[in-house]
């Protein structure tokens, strides 16, 4: 049985779709966000989303450097967008720091898994 995102094209589309979803979520008006204990963990959400994006872009074939630069620029772009768009959101350097930390986390996870797979094959 073929998995839908198990081809190079499928992995690319999954990375693109996920990036669009993150941008859309970050574009929600501030007053439309529900009061929730989950939102109090805002920086963890940034960290997690960008870690997942980094893993997906790595799986789509991007280099670590390209993934890091694109992830940092994407995070910066989101923060600038939130500042200039009339959505009741604001530029937050801590969000950007969490985004970049998430990219590093995703890259580290990919490196660990790749190393683990190589060690398994070598045995």
* 54-101 pLDDT, tens digit each: 999 999 999 999 999 999 999 999 999 999 999 888 899 999 999 999
Residues 59/113, Cβ–Cβ less than 8 Å: no
Domain extents in the chain? 8-122
> pTM to 2 decimals?
0.86
Query: Closest Cα to residue 95, out of 31, 5, 25?
Result: 25
Cβ contacts of 50 within 8 Å, gap of 6 or more: 22, 71, 75, 98, 99, 100, 101, 102, 103, 105, 106
Residues 106/51, Cβ–Cβ less than 8 Å: yes
Q: Give the total residue count for the chain.
A: 123
| Mean pLDDT, residues 35-43 taken together | 65
């Amino acid at each position: 049985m073929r998995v839908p995102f198990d081809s190079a094209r499928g992995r690319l589309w999954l990375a693109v779709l996920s990036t669009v979803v993150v941008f859309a979520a970050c574009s929600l008006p501030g007053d439309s966000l529900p009061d929730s204990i989950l939102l109090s963990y805002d920086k963890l959400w940034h960290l997690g989303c960008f870690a997942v994006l980094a893993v997906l872009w790595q799986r789509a074939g991007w280099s670590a450097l390209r993934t890091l630069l694109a992830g940092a620029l994407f995070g910066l772009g989101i923060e600038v967008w939130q500042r200039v768009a009339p959505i009741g959101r604001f530029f937050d350097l801590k969000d950007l720091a969490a985004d970049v930390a998430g990219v590093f986390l995703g890259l580290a996870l990919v490196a660990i898994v790749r190393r683990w797979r190589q060690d398994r094959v070598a045995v």
